[in-house]
Amino acid sequence: MKKWQDVQRVPAPAIIPTFGPLSGMRVLTTGGHLAMPYAASMLAEFGAEVLYIERPGMGDPYRLFSPFLKGENGQQVGASWVQEARNRLSITLETNLNMQEAREVFFALIKNSDIWMENVVWTDKLGIYDEELLEVNPSLVICHVSGYGKAKFGGDPEKCDRGSFDIIGQAASGWLILNGDPDRPPMRGNPGVNDYVSSLYCLFGALAAYVHAQKTGQGQVVDIAQFEAQAKVIADYVVLWANEKIMRERTGNQQFNVQPYNVFMAKDKYVVLGAIGPAVFSRFIKAIGLDPNVYTREAVSSGPEALASPIGREFDRIVKEWISQRTAKEVEDHMAKFKVPCQVVVDADDIINDPHWIDRGDIIEYKDQTTKRKVKAVGVVPKMDKTPGKIWRGAPAMGQDTEAILTRICGYGPEDIAVLREKGVI
C-alpha cells in the first residue's frame, strides 16, 4: 500500500468546481454535529474544497437528527443536515490512527490540506497528535473546537477533557443566565446558538491562521472553546460586575436600559420595534403622536431608573396600546415612513414567499444527495460582487466521494482502495 511520504500534493480544487475567493484552499475535517462543521460549510460555500471525514458505518450523527426529510427512494436524512452540509465532499475513513492503514490515509490527506478542523475532543486516544501532523505538513492550520479548550492553552486539564454540547457552552459562558424572563428559569437560545457562534469563531481563527501560513509557510494550532466564544457576545455583563459590582439580570425581550426595544403584540401577530438613540427616539415620538416635551428620552429611556419611573411605565403602556390597535403590517409600514426600525416577526411560510428574500437569492433550490430530491433552503451569506459563493451540490450522501478523494488527491489505485475496504478502513 502506498505510504503517505510517497503521496504528492495535488493542488485544490481537484474535485469541486472552481469558484469563489477561497478557491485553491483545501480543508479536512473530523468530528460531527455543528460546532465546527458549520465553519467548514461556510468555507465550502466560498470555494474551499472541504473533505469531510465520516467514520465507516456510523457517519455524522447530525444526519440522524429529526425532523427528517424523506425521499422517493425511501432514504431519509435530518433536515438540518440538508441545510448545513452543502458543498462538502464526504469520505468514509476510520480515524483511529492506531490502525496503520488508517494512519497512512489520514497523513496523506493532511499532506494535501491547508486546514484541519476537528471537534472530537479526545484526539490523543485516536493517536492523532498536533506535533506529528505539523511534521507531515509544516504549513498546516489546526483548529480544535471543544467545550472548554485544550489544556496546552491553559485552564483546568480535567475540565478541558470534558465533553460538551451547545447548551453546555451557553451555561458555562454566562450567556444562558442572561436570557429568559426574570421570574422563570434561564432560557436556552434556540437553535444551537452556541454551536453556531463557536463555528464562526472557528472560521475566523482558521482564516487568520491561514493568512499567516500563506505569508510565512508556518502552520499553527488554533483553539476554540465553546464557552469562550459565547462569552465574547455577552456585551458588558462581565465588565459591569468586575468593575462596578452591577449584576445584569434577565429581562425577557425588554431591553433593560432603553425603550421601546421589545417584542410587541399587534392585532394579528407579533412585531419588534427598536427606537433607541436621540434621533430615532425623536422620530418614534413623532410617529405615534406624543408630546416630545413630556416624553423625553431622558425621562423615559435613559437607563433602568427611567424605565422604572412612573412616566417610564406610562410610556411603555401607551406604546403597547398603540401597537395593539393596529395590525403588525400596519405598524411596520407606519414606522418605515418615520425611519424607525420595525419588523413583523415572520415564520417559515412568510420567509419562503417574501419577494425581498427571493430577489436577494436567499431562497435557493438544489438536489440533496441522500434523498435525491430537490429542496428549498436558505442561500449563501454574505453577498460578494466579484467572487460570490455558490451552492454547487447539496449535502453529500455518506461516503459519496471516498473513491474520488482517494484516487484524485491521494493517488491510490483500485487495488489500494479494495484493501482499505476489506480491512474496514473506509
CB burial of residue 270 (10 Å; 0-12, 13-18, 19+): middle
State residue 90 phi and psi, 5-degree precision. Answer: -100, 125
Q: What is the pLDDT of residue 72?
A: 81
Q: ω into residue 260 within 30 of 0, thus cis?
A: yes
DSSP string, 69-122: EE-TTS-EEEHHHHHHSTT-EEEE----TTSHHHHHHHHHHHHT-SEEEE--S-
Q: What is the pLDDT of residue 97?
A: 94
Average pLDDT over residues 399-421: 96
Residue range 295-348, pLDDT digits in tens: 999 999 999 999 999 999 999 999 999 999 999 999 999 999 999 999 999 999
DSSP string, 205-218: HHHHHHHHHHHHS-
pTM of the predicted protein model: 0.93
Q: What gap in Å lies between CA 230 and CA 232, rounded to an integer? A: 5
Is the per-residue pLDDT at 400 higher than 80?
Answer: yes
Average pLDDT, the chain: 96
Confidence of residue 253 (pLDDT cuts 50, 70, 90): very high
User: What angle is formed at CA 51 by the lines to CA 50 and CA 52, rounded to 5 degrees?
Assistant: 105
Q: What is the pLDDT of residue 57?
A: 86
Q: Which of 269, 247, 251, 249 is nearest to 261 (CA)?
A: 251
Q: What is the pLDDT of residue 74?
A: 87
Confidence of residue 111 (pLDDT cuts 50, 70, 90): very high
Q: What is the pLDDT of residue 33?
A: 87
- Of the listed ranges 1-5, 54-58, 211-215, 403-407, the one predicted with least confidence: 1-5
Q: What is the pLDDT of residue 58?
A: 81
State residue 324 phi and psi, 5-degree precision. Answer: -65, -20
At which residue does the C-alpha cell 423615559 appear?
Answer: 300
Is the per-residue pLDDT at 2 higher than 80?
Answer: no
Q: What gap in Å lies between CA 240 and CA 306, rounded to an integer? A: 19
Residue range 343-385, pLDDT digits in tens: 999 999 999 999 999 999 999 999 999 999 999 999 999 999 9
Average pLDDT over residues 267-294: 97
Q: What is the pLDDT of residue 99?
A: 93
Q: What is the pLDDT of residue 122?
A: 85
DSSP string, 340-375: --EEE---HHHHHT-HHHHHTT-EEEEE-TTT--EE
Q: How many helices (H) and strands (E) does the chain have?
A: 18, 13
Residue range 58-80, pLDDT digits in tens: 889 999 989 999 998 889 999 99
Phi-psi category of residue 193: left, alpha or beta, with phi > 0 → left and psi -120 to 50 → alpha: alpha
